[in-house]
Structure 1
Amino acid sequence: MTRINIALAQFAPSLADIAANLATIRQLRAQAAAAGADLLVLPELALTGPGPFERLPGFVQAALLAESARALAELQADSAAGGPALLVGLPHAEPGQARPFSALALLHRGELLGWRARVAGDGRDAWFIPGPVPGPIGFPVEGQPPIRLGVLSGQDLAGPDIAEALAESGAEILVAPSALPFATGGFDRRLQQAVHRVTETGLPLVQVNLLGGRGRQVFEGMSFALDDARRLAALAPGFVQDLTVTRWERPDDAPLASVEAARRTPPLDEMAALHQALVLALSDRLQGSGQAGVVVDLDEGPAAPLAAALAVDALGAARVRALASSREAAALATVLGIAADPLALDAALPPFLEGLPARQVAGLAAQALARRTGALHLCGLDRTSLALGAAGPAESFALLGDLDLGSVRALASWRNARPGGPALPPTSLEPLPGEAATEAILHGLLDLQLDPAALEARGFEAARVAEIQERLVRLAARRRCRPLVVRVRPPVPD
């Protein structure tokens, strides 16, 4: 009888802070050892965190690779003293290789048992090159034949080829460190992909996903294990650091099987997951930047009240400051318990501001207040407003910029219905005239890439379609300079 205990460790690595990530990995390894784990599986890019590495100067990229290699050597030395083996993700380049792999290294008893690299690519990580199709890595078991680990990236689970190649090469379990960003409904799609791979190969599977907010992306964790019958053997909670130990046995001449159900945390419903993703994105943004809080213009647009409420949820009311140019905004600030600076847009303006639209003046005031107080300018605009020309500054953070107004209102209604916390006033939930048709046309033009004739055939008014298309064309250059938008919508099917 062969036994192996595999620990799934999801955490939020600090971007390019390899020393901090190394310290966290050591803490997780100590926890895994105390829980009786034989192997600790960490997310993809656990040593560096995910980032736009391709935008960095070449000497910074080289330093990042060198520091990652030194940290890996330290972990390899740690493993010589006993304790769980580690499967850790990092960028790695072979000698003479111009760009690195997104690689996975298996360390055990002071040895590097093998490298594997992500094969698939989706255009998000231009710095990395695809790796070769992998074979299994033998994991030593005292007195027994090694367990053959089918190590692959989470992105490589999107199709059948890599998993099937590992199964045909003798893998006994698929092990998938991942860095797959959150999107609404994304966990269900991720789980279904894994179920398909288990069905096709007949192998159990564990997936360990990254955690944390990283610029435009947020990662939910929600690591899991499936046995060879596609049953959920473990499910870690979403949006929090977690270590879950799964236990497996291989009887003589029998396949590896889960022998003890680990913790299975019920997944969040869609609105609860979206709320947690946005809260995590904002809190991690400020933790990474070191900014004191946020400034939001409560009159910026129909999504601004929800943006302010989410900021309170993420940071606490004391770290949220508002600009209020209307009585309604001042009243909302009182409801949310946040400090509000009044802004009189009908007052006399300095000569250099005369003639500017009132909303533009308010935006400049919000930026100035954010800079003066060392805060982040939280843009209160939604996807519809940004697409149709509302101007948010490029240095601001558009927490709701990927959601249309219908989704904003659905999330606000969900938030109001939950117990605890200040509720938004009903007026902020009322749809605007023609809102549904406008958003349907935008979806057709931007997401589905339909031409006006196709939209007219679906019953939309020709003049309205033409008006929106003309505005999108006219504003194309401005959209390139828009705020940093947190991506939460699922990809549009081909």
Structure 2
Amino acid sequence: MRIALAQFNPIVGDIAGNAEKILSLAHAAIVQGADVLVTPELALTGYSPEDLLLRDSFYREVAKGLDTLEQLDGITLVIGHPVKLGNERFNAATVLRDGHRLGQYHKMLLPNNEVFDECRYFTPGAAPLVFEQNGVKVGVLICEDVWSLEPAAETADAGAEVVLALNASPFHRNKIEARHEALRYRVEETGLPFAYVNLAGGQDELVFDGASFAVDKSGRVVAQAAAYDDELLLVDFADGDLQQGKQTALPGPLESVYRTLVVGVRDYIGKNGFPGTLLGLSGGIDSALTLAVAVDALGADKVHAVMMPSRYTADISVTDSRDMIARLGVKYDEIEIWPMYESFMAGLAPSFAGLEMDTTEENLQARIRGTLLMALSNKSGKLVLTTGNKSEMTTGYCTLYGDMAGGFAVLKDVAKTLVFELCRWRNTVSDVIPERIITRPPSAELRPDQKDQDSLPPYEVLDAIMARYVEGNQSAADIIAAGFAKADVDRVVRLLKINEYKRRQAPVGPRVTQRGFGKDWRYPITNRFS
């Protein structure tokens, strides 16, 4: 029996378009001798449809999509889709062959943590599904089902000889290794081989990294698809086990994060129909990385960078920005903001009389820049990419309606220390980021001789505290006990808490850690817990 794992990039809600993609993959699989084609989880609708799943009209379109796929002959299809039966909704997989529906599996385990809300939409399934193909008994599981023993054990007890696992498993760092490990446990517990197919592509803040694979009865990965790209991975079942197939090398840790950012930008811009992107280029490392990602995602012709210097902008910031523009060849403008700033200050002078200068004047500069970018966005239709990183989002070192103004936050889940690592990695591919941008001390350049570390703990300290508190859910006391200075921990935790209202108004951005400031961060703004 030859199995084809249909790793592809659907568009949420484009049911007819996704069905056409599946048909195209099925035809290609038939040509290559496949007996079964298995799609990812909710492949027909894309993952996740969220509250589209609450609309009856959505299921009527899903039914039409299944009817289209049912017309195909010559191969068995295992299609991931939602289904509504009476008043209950299920995350399902339907087995289709030559105009017949051989069975339908309902996902047993519904994740309701991190970025997953499946208990909001679905009822858990209660029974395994095993169908026969070429004399082989084939079991079906969906995503979360393979992360625990019970569904796999029930499928084995039902007589399965091999298991097909449909997945919509989004990227976070070290996720591919975690999937391999989970499947090895299932193999060890059940004695069955598994073929695991995953989605590819970006959906709002989630990026699905593909990397579909198969493991044999010994737990060895015998076939491995590429990460991020569409692919039809073929794997044969013979002599009671999955056989050795194609092995594609997987990206390393930094390349994985970088490619996640690229796919996130590419699909957010492309799937939403924007003609291109705009971003403010400062001569600093965050905007430099954002620019590199945007060009790699979309091509230089769809990226417009704008330098908006003030009297506090260092000459080398302008020089380095022009240098990077020359390397990448994107459209570039310079707009001096100081005359606008002076006009604002003149208008505010009566209200500010007798008051000392403070961050108000700094934020005003950032807001002028945000206003200019949004005006250019309105005029051109291009989406503004914001350039702030996760360390800044944690501490509120960012300006509402200023550098936070935009439609997609590329570095929202990327810590500052990781920004440096990614820039250095990107320069190993081709030298696009001037070295001085990487080595200069970071500065917002909103007042004379300003440095980020004047206002924040050293980034290596800040990011380590952030990783423990935000991503690891450790308490402040636990972090202090681990050796961090109490003053630093208290400061970071306080800044995190008082800036929740800012994060709630930030644009979405691609998730690269196990806990980003998006779907999986839900803290009350009004909150006295300490």
Taking structure 2 as the reference length, what is the TM-score of the superposition?
0.84
CA contact (8 A) 2:214 2:222 kept: yes
Deviation at 1:179, TM superposition (A): 0.4
Hey, what's the Cα distance between the residues in 2 that align with 1:162 and 1:373? 52
Deviation digits for residues 142-170 of structure 1, max 9, x if unmatched? xxxx4221100122111111111111221
Q: Percent of aligned positions with the same letter in both sequences?
A: 29
Deviation at 1:388, TM superposition (A): 1.6
Of residues 422, 425, 430 in structure 2, which corresponds to 1:414?
Answer: 425
Match of 1:372 in 2: 379
Match of 2:127 in 1: 134
Q: Give the 3 Å change call, closer, same or farther, for CA 180–348 of structure 1 in structure 2.
A: closer
Q: Which amino acid aligns with 2:292?
A: A
Secondary structure, counterpart of 2:85 in structure 1: coil
Match of 2:528 in 1: none
Q: Give the 3 Å change call, closer, same or farther, for CA 235–429 of structure 1 in structure 2.
A: farther
Q: Give the 3 Å change call, closer, same or farther, for CA 135–469 of structure 1 in structure 2.
A: closer
Q: Which amino acid aligns with 1:428?
A: I
Hey, what's the Cα distance between the residues in 2 that align with 1:372 and 1:405? 32
CA contact (8 A) 1:300 1:380 kept: no
Deviation digits for residues 417-437 of structure 1, max 9, x if unmatched? 12x362343333456541111
Give matches, 1:23-422, under 5 Å.
23-54=20-51, 56=52, 58=54, 61-78=55-72, 82-97=73-88, 100-123=89-112, 124-126=116-118, 127-141=120-134, 146-250=135-239, 256-259=240-243, 261-299=244-282, 302-326=285-309, 327=318, 328-349=320-341, 350-351=343-344, 357-389=364-396, 390-391=398-399, 392-393=403-404, 395-418=406-429, 420=430, 422=432
Deviation at 1:51, TM superposition (A): 2.6
CA contact (8 A) 1:305 1:428 kept: no
Hey, what's the Cα distance between the residues in 1 that align with 2:62 and 2:510? 28
Hey, what's the Cα distance between the residues in 2 that align with 1:47 and 1:300? 44
Hey, what's the Cα distance between the residues in 2 that align with 1:193 and 1:222? 14
Q: Give the 3 Å change call, closer, same or farther, for CA 39–68 of structure 1 in structure 2.
A: same
Secondary structure, counterpart of 2:71 in structure 1: helix
Deviation at 1:366, TM superposition (A): 1.5
Q: Which amino acid aligns with 1:330?
A: R
Q: Does 1:466 align with 2:458?
A: no
Alpha-carbon RMSD across the aligned residues, in angstroms, is 2.2
Q: Which amino acid aligns with 1:12?
A: N
Q: Give the 3 Å change call, closer, same or farther, for CA 444–234 of structure 1 in structure 2.
A: closer
Deviation digits for residues 54-82 of structure 1, max 9, x if unmatched? 2x495xx211111101111221132xxx3
Q: Give the 3 Å change call, closer, same or farther, for CA 325–173 of structure 1 in structure 2.
A: same
Deviation at 1:231, TM superposition (A): 2.2
Q: Which amino acid aligns with 1:76?
A: E
Hey, what's the Cα distance between the residues in 1 that align with 2:440 and 2:151? 49
Q: Give the 3 Å change call, closer, same or farther, for CA 185–424 of structure 1 in structure 2.
A: farther
CA contact (8 A) 2:288 2:433 kept: no
CA contact (8 A) 2:90 2:125 kept: no
CA contact (8 A) 1:6 1:246 kept: yes
Deviation at 1:361, TM superposition (A): 1.5
Q: Give the 3 Å change call, closer, same or farther, for CA 472–265 of structure 1 in structure 2.
A: same
CA contact (8 A) 1:299 1:324 kept: yes
Hey, what's the Cα distance between the residues in 1 that align with 2:340 and 2:372? 14
Unaligned runs of 5+ in 2: 310-317, 349-360, 443-452, 517-530
Q: Does 1:425 align with 2:435?
A: yes
Hey, what's the Cα distance between the residues in 2 that align with 1:429 and 1:208? 42
Unaligned runs of 5+ in 1: 251-255
Deviation at 1:50, TM superposition (A): 0.9
